Chains A and B, each alone.
Chain A
Amino acid sequence: MSTRKTINRFTAIGGLCTAVALVATGCGAGGPTSSGSAASTVNVLVEAGGHAELTGVAEQCKKDAGIDVNFVELPYDGMFNRLSSEFSSGNVSFDVAALDSVWLPSFKDAVQPIDELFTDEAKKDIFPALVKEANVDGHFIGMPAWTNAEIILYRTDLFEDAANKAGFNAKYGYDLAAPTTWQQYKDISEFFTKDGMYGTDVKGGVETEWLAHVLQAGSPMVLDENNNVVIDNAAHKEALDFYTSLTSYAPPGAAQVDWAAAQNLFNQGKTAMTRFWAHAYRQIPKDAPVAGKVGAAPMIGGSAGVAGVPGPWYLSVPKATKNADNAKKFVKCAYDYNSLGIESSLGLASRISAFEKYQDKAGYESFGPLISTLNGAATATRPATEKWQQIVDTVLVPLLQKAVAGGDSTALLADAKKQIQDLLK
């Protein structure tokens, strides 16, 4: 009988829970609206890290245009799948999507042109590479919300140490300072690789840094303007050889080092320099051994000068949204109040004027080098091909991992060329 009672009790509890759950199911606990059908509400799909960038804008947009903004935060790894799924179904749960620049060509047919927002004045205030990237097939389809680029972060306490200065000058014949060329970067890396410390890191798990060196060597990245595969040209080999030559001055296991690992190594004081995204300067933990001892400089230059690969995110309006007018109003707000993003924890923007407004303020020392890098003569965005992400995942990253592990660069680049040509067929 006791078992029966238990069963009955479980049944009653289960039934009650289900009833409560079903009643509550009507709206869900996250909020009253799911799509942007309400006239004054806009749903913005954003990568979790970018949410903070747009919070201030959302508040200002509410004041100015009376638009309520709901953010749908997703992790980066799942966002592409979600976007693909909703765009292909024709039903979208958002009115504005923050898109990584590499996704723009893939989703060009699913988002609306926003040419009217790209006035001459706006185009002057956005970095040229971003204006070019936002224009796909003759239409502007995304407004840059924030951008980033790799710069040089280095340990000022080590660089300003008198013994290091004297020792470096004696060994290399010039003064120790933030590097501006490949050779200087290599020399300084070698100099600081001692006593359990390394001069730099080498990231075998990500491709962007090597591609920046390719630009510095004077070649377009992987594909030329006619979409011919040029990954086996001299500049790519020169950049790859420089990249792999630094493994002698970097922590072991370069093939597995990615952004997170490299950032940790630098913040822990294991490396004297790193080539890293500019936002990292403001994200050094206060209790890190290197806190207050880090300087920033523009990305190094090769034979073609300074160059970086910008990492912008664009705000786009899906064709399938029923709330396009308000969505575009939000995108305009994001442009008008772009500098509010700098006050966020991430501290980035996309307008030149926004960066310039802050570059001389304490705590924003990375902005000057970031502006220089983004304005670099050879700075360019990634090739506009729908297959780019596939090329990165299946060809470029494996190529780098083999190269930093000691593979023959000529053979690897020739092999990569064949693979990319097959992907683009």
Chain B
Amino acid sequence: MSLADPRLHGPAVTETTMPTSTMTSAPKTRASNGNGTRRRRHHAEGLEAGKRSTRTLLWILLAAAMIFYGFPFLYLLFTSFKTPIDTIAVPPTILPREWTLENYTNALGRSGVLASFINSAQTAIISTVLSLVLAVPAAYGITRYKTPSGRVFIMAALVTRMVPPVAIGIPLASMMSAAGLADTPIALSIAHTTISLPLSIWLMSSFFEAVPKDLEEAATVDGCSRLGALWRVVIPVVSGGIAVTAIFAFLASWNEFLFALLMTAVRSQTTPVVIANFQTQFGLDWGSMTALAAVYSIPVILLTLLLQRKIVAGMTLGAVKG
């Protein structure tokens, strides 16, 4: 809500749009009604003060929430600039006593780090595209053709989310190996799609639900086929939702650890496994681990910033249905 919002300045707007005839008699009215005006002004000031204090309270709550959510990442970031002895200080310190970039040099200079970044990107991109390609038509079909089998299908998709990944990780690794896909990003992408696809279908279903059927019918009347209406009318409307779904699918793959641990070796190891390798039986290199984790989070932060508007639009899309 902007400061020029009429809902905030109701009386002023009324006064400026007042007809001229009324304007001439206004002083008299005001003079004869001095106590009431004062009371109104006091009342308005009280309301303004109340709004100000509410806003301050909201800002405080917002700041507290931001600190609560952001602190772990900030701590990670600060730790990545600490010297080795600072990282293990007892009691721990938040800010580095001495700032250093050595951890970044060590982490990025480690063999296999660059390759792991490329592998992570490949895997996440393929997995995201696979998820969208499968989830968009599946969700559209489920929401537009409300059949019993569709309902069973979407529930079944939800149930697959309840299976612990470790239970399917080992069979999946064996299957990929038998298919000749062992230690390839495509195998890992397929595995990651099993995680992101159910969520993608559910998300896309809620976005499609929010799109009035009238839009498609109008497009059909104008000569579009069913698929044409989906492509030309519905998908542009839910583009924010697709962006949200893509972000979730990308993040699910980008940060996934267990399948990457079980299914990758020399060629396709992803960065989460490399980050975990800083914890060894002989000690934990906090500095390098946090430095690599900080670098690894940059692409995701950039992606989120890039798609911010789409995400906000997508988040509110489901809220206007009905």
Q: A residues bordering B, Cβ < 8 Å?
A: 3-4, 6-7, 10, 14, 17-18, 21-22, 24-35, 43, 45, 47-50, 70, 72-78, 81-82, 84-86, 88-89, 91, 93-94, 100, 260, 263-265, 267-268, 270, 277, 279-280, 283, 285, 287-289, 346
Q: Select one of B184, B277, B280 contacting A28, CB under 8 A.
A: B184
Contact indicator A22/B174 (Cβ below 8 Å): no
Known: A31-B266, A93-B183, A270-B90. A4 touches B115 (CB 8 A): no
What's the least CB distance linking B128 to chain A, in Å? Answer: 8
What's the least CB distance linking B168 to chain A, in Å? Answer: 12
Known: A91-B182, A268-B89, A287-B84. A75 touches B279 (CB 8 A): yes
The listed residue with most B CB atoms (<10 A of its CB), out of A85, A263, A267, A289, is A85
Any chain A CB within 8 A of the CB of B122? Answer: yes
Which residues of B are found within 8 Å of A289, using beta-carbon distances? 85
Contact indicator B283/A93 (Cβ below 8 Å): no
Contact indicator B277/A73 (Cβ below 8 Å): yes
Contact indicator B85/A288 (Cβ below 8 Å): yes
How far is B121's CA from A10's CA once the two chains are assembled, in angstroms? 17
Known: A48-B280, A88-B170, A283-B283. A30 touches B129 (CB 8 A): no
Q: Select one of A27, A76, A84 contacting B267, CB under 8 A.
A: A27
Contact indicator B280/A49 (Cβ below 8 Å): yes
Contact indicator B261/A25 (Cβ below 8 Å): no
What's the least CB distance linking B159 to chain A, in Å? Answer: 24
Contact indicator A34/B182 (Cβ below 8 Å): yes
How far is B156's CA from A331's CA once the two chains are assembled, in angstroms? 49
Contact indicator A91/B235 (Cβ below 8 Å): no
What's the least CB distance linking A42 to chain B, in Å? Answer: 11
Q: 10 tightest CB-CB pairs across the interface, nearest first?
A: A49-B280, A28-B267, A48-B277, A29-B118, A34-B183, A29-B115, A28-B268, A75-B276, A89-B174, A93-B265
Known: A74-B273, A93-B183, A277-B282. A267 touches B88 (CB 8 A): yes
Q: B residues bordering A, Cβ < 8 Å?
A: 83-85, 88-90, 112, 114-116, 118-119, 121-122, 125-126, 129, 132, 166, 169-170, 173-174, 177-178, 182-186, 232, 235-237, 239, 258, 261-262, 265-269, 273-274, 276-284
Which residues of A are found within 8 Å of B239, using beta-carbon distances? 3, 6-7, 10
Contact indicator A283/B267 (Cβ below 8 Å): no
Contact indicator B284/A30 (Cβ below 8 Å): no
Contact indicator A4/B85 (Cβ below 8 Å): no
What's the least CB distance linking A6 to chain B, in Å? Answer: 7
Known: A24-B118, A283-B282. A34 touches B89 (CB 8 A): no
Known: A78-B261, A285-B85. A91 touches B183 (CB 8 A): no
Contact indicator B177/A89 (Cβ below 8 Å): yes
Q: Select one of A47, A85, A100 contacting B262, CB under 8 A.
A: A85
A-B contacts, 23 of them at CB < 8 A, read A3-B236, A21-B125, A21-B126, A29-B122, A31-B267, A33-B266, A47-B280, A48-B276, A48-B280, A72-B265, A73-B277, A74-B277, A75-B261, A78-B262, A78-B273, A85-B262, A89-B177, A93-B182, A264-B88, A264-B90, A279-B282, A285-B85, A288-B85
How far is B88's CA from A289's CA once the two chains are assembled, in angstroms? 12
Q: Select one of B114, B122, B282 contacting A21, CB under 8 A.
A: B122
Contact indicator A263/B126 (Cβ below 8 Å): no
How far is B169's CA from A73's CA once the two chains are assembled, in angstroms? 19
Which residues of A are found within 8 Å of B89, using beta-carbon distances? 268
Which residues of B are found within 8 Å of A77, using beta-carbon distances? 276, 279
Contact indicator B125/A17 (Cβ below 8 Å): yes
Known: A21-B185, A75-B277. A30 touches B170 (CB 8 A): no
How far is B285's CA from A263's CA once the two chains are assembled, in angstroms? 13
Known: A75-B276, A91-B177, A94-B265. A263 touches B283 (CB 8 A): yes
What's the least CB distance linking A8 to chain B, in Å? Answer: 10
6 extra A-B contacts, CB within 8 A, seeds A21-B126, A78-B276, A91-B177: A14-B129, A30-B119, A31-B267, A35-B183, A85-B170, A94-B265
Contact indicator A85/B118 (Cβ below 8 Å): no
Among residues of A, the one whose C-beta sits closest to the C-beta of B307 is A10
Which residues of B are found within 8 Å of A283, using beta-carbon distances? 282-283
Which residues of A are found within 8 Å of B261, using beta-carbon distances? 74-75, 78, 81-82
What's the least CB distance linking B177 to chain A, in Å? Answer: 4
The listed residue with most B CB atoms (<10 A of its CB), out of A6, A34, A287, is A34
How far is B166's CA from A84's CA once the two chains are assembled, in angstroms? 13
Contact indicator B85/A267 (Cβ below 8 Å): yes
Q: Select one of B115, B166, B278 contacting A31, CB under 8 A.
A: B115
What's the least CB distance linking A369 to chain B, in Å? Answer: 18
Q: Select one of A4, A28, A74, A100 contacting B183, CB under 8 A.
A: A28
Among residues of B, the one whose C-beta sits closest to the C-beta of A78 is B261
Contact indicator A260/B266 (Cβ below 8 Å): no
Which residues of B are found within 8 Å of A28, using beta-carbon distances? 115, 119, 122, 183-185, 266-268
Contact indicator B267/A34 (Cβ below 8 Å): yes
Which residues of B are found within 8 Å of A93, using beta-carbon distances? 177, 182-183, 265-266
Q: Select one of B85, B118, B279 contacting A287, CB under 8 A.
A: B85
How far is B266's CA from A385's CA once the two chains are assembled, in angstroms? 32
How far is B239's CA from A75's CA once the two chains are assembled, in angstroms? 40
Among residues of B, the one whose C-beta sits closest to the C-beta of A290 is B85
The listed residue with most B CB atoms (<10 A of its CB), out of A18, A28, A270, is A28
How far is B273's CA from A77's CA once the two chains are assembled, in angstroms? 11
How far is B169's CA from A33's CA once the two chains are assembled, in angstroms? 23
Known: A28-B119, A28-B184, A268-B88. A34 touches B126 (CB 8 A): no
Contact indicator A75/B280 (Cβ below 8 Å): yes
How far is B83's CA from A78's CA once the two chains are assembled, in angstroms? 28
Which residues of B are found within 8 Å of A100, using beta-carbon distances? 281
How far is B284's CA from A76's CA once the two chains are assembled, in angstroms? 12
Which residues of A are found within 8 Å of B274, using beta-carbon distances? 73
Contact indicator A24/B122 (Cβ below 8 Å): yes
Among residues of B, the one whose C-beta sits closest to the C-beta of A45 is B265
Contact indicator B262/A285 (Cβ below 8 Å): no
Contact indicator B266/A34 (Cβ below 8 Å): yes
Among residues of B, the one whose C-beta sits closest to the C-beta of A85 is B170
Which residues of B are found within 8 Å of A24, using beta-carbon distances? 118, 122, 185
How far is B253's CA from A286's CA once the two chains are assembled, in angstroms? 39
Known: A25-B184, A48-B277, A260-B284. A30 touches B268 (CB 8 A): yes
Among residues of A, the one whose C-beta sits closest to the C-beta of B258 is A78
Among residues of B, the one whose C-beta sits closest to the C-beta of A270 is B90
